[in-house]
Amino acid sequence: MASLVDDLDTLLPQTQCGQCGFDGCRPYAQAMADGRADVNRCPPGGPQTIAALAQRLDRPARPLDPACGVHQPFRIALIDEEHCIGCTLCIQACPVDAILGANQSMHTVIEADCTGCELCVAPCPVDCITMVPADRDWTRADAQAARQRYQSRNARLSARHAESAGLAARTLANKPALATPSTTHDKQDRIAQALARARARRS
């Protein structure tokens, strides 16, 4: 059964842009459900989203908090491919895998998958990413697809992290144990005993 947090999360645009002051849409949904945040903190969602959140929570709708940003028509990222140096920083920043490219090769935005979150703009060292008007509006279906891409990406990154951690642990386990003071002393004792036996045989 869907929880209140699920319901609120479903009403959010799923860009994961962080303008609400939370680390993505679901943490903001959780904060609203807990009574820690008001309904007017999502600039991409704008008045429509505020109204839907207020209705679900049975709270008054308020104007968008200007401290969070401004609501504007849907825009998407565009990469000036001639100036891209292929550093991959934008790919690492994109929460929904909407950028294609490889190290030292030109990068490009998959228009249909871009949520307009702008998270790729700041990391670009050569300022070759700009936000341009999209020729469509952001829909609830777009938001659902974006959430799936976000979750898939997180699952992939977690699996990679776990694999790296496992590899590091196995490498450590396979290393010869470092000599501890006691093993060092044992070794010195055995050498001393062997020398004593050799001396005894010679005498």
Given the rule CB under 6 A, which residues bind ligand SF4? 12-13, 15-20, 22, 24-25, 28, 42-45, 76-77, 79, 84-90, 93-94, 96, 98-99, 101, 107, 109, 114-120, 123-124, 126, 128-129
CA atoms of 129 and 91, how far apart (whole Å): 12
Q: Output the smallest distance, CB 181 to ligand SF4, in A.
A: 51
Nearer to ligand SF4, 142 or 194 (CB): 142
At 118 the three-state DSSP class reads: coil
Q: Output the smallest distance, CB 163 to ligand SF4, in A.
A: 25
CA atoms of 30 and 32, how far apart (whole Å): 5
At 119 the three-state DSSP class reads: coil
Nearer to ligand SF4, 73 or 86 (CB): 86
Nearer to ligand SF4, 14 or 166 (CB): 14
Report DSSP letters for 32-53, one per residue.
HHTTSS-S---TTTHHHHHHHH
CA atoms of 56 and 4, how far apart (whole Å): 9
Q: Output the smallest distance, CB 78 to ligand SF4, in A.
A: 9
Q: Output the smallest distance, CB 104 to ligand SF4, in A.
A: 9
Which residues 6+ apart lie within 8 Å of 150 measured at CB? 14, 16, 24, 95, 96
Nearer to ligand SF4, 67 or 173 (CB): 67
